[in-house]
Chains A and B, each alone.
Chain A
């Protein structure tokens, strides 16, 4: 099958766990044929999933009045995903290091570590007027 040239989508989702599954599946399905390996795709899916969970659970706190904006863009060998919530926002520096000895047995707080591990670029920005936006990029191996 010939590689596709580009594909993209922008959509608002409800703040629900169903949306987490839907977004993960939709982007992974779209990414097929863009040069990512069978090994890479599940890790990319996990990074998307962790970002969605952060937006739905920690950002929007499951609020039915708040949406999660998901924007993705695929070109051969490159996937860029931006996931934005309408929550109160957070500072990356305030997230405890999950690899510190004293935090190893904490039940939560590993999502951002996983996203950073699986994606090649990762940044957190504030949204206007309110919320947090996570932008991440994955490159396929050449």
Chain B
């Protein structure tokens, strides 16, 4: 299964609930298009919920980075929510844990913007 993305507003934050796999191919492009659309619409506070993401490969990690730079370049802030241990380990191995702000509680994450 490739990634399925659902967006919902929580206050002035757009939460993206992601589920499935973010890997090379379809999963990555769906992800990229969604982030670009939100950035183009002027959404500046984006919280990416990865709690239901079962698998991310290096291409998927690249998409997370691309999302981060896309949102940052329009003056927005992208934060991550509910990372599984495996995804958290991946971000640590790749040192991206120093780049992304990560949260485990949605209300606290929304309040942090």
Contact = CB atoms under 8 A, between A and B. Distances in A.
| A joins B in a complex | yes
Interface residues of A, number: 20
A111 B96 CA distance: 14
B94 A107 contact: no
Interface stretch (B9-17, B39-47, B56-64, B101-109): B56-64
Contacts of A108: 58-59, 62
Contact of A114 (B66, B68, B93, B99): B93
A99 B95 contact: yes
Contacts of B61: 110
A105 B86 contact: no
A32 interface: no
Q: Is the interface of A mostly helix, strand, loop or mixed?
A: helix
Contacts of A133: none
B57 A107 contact: no
Interface of B: 23-25, 55, 57-59, 61-63, 65-66, 68-69, 86, 90, 93-96, 98-99
Interface of A: 17, 20, 42, 46, 49-50, 53, 57, 98-99, 104-108, 110-111, 113-114, 117
13 contacts: A17-B25, A46-B57, A49-B23, A50-B57, A57-B24, A99-B94, A99-B95, A105-B68, A110-B61, A111-B58, A113-B93, A113-B94, A114-B94
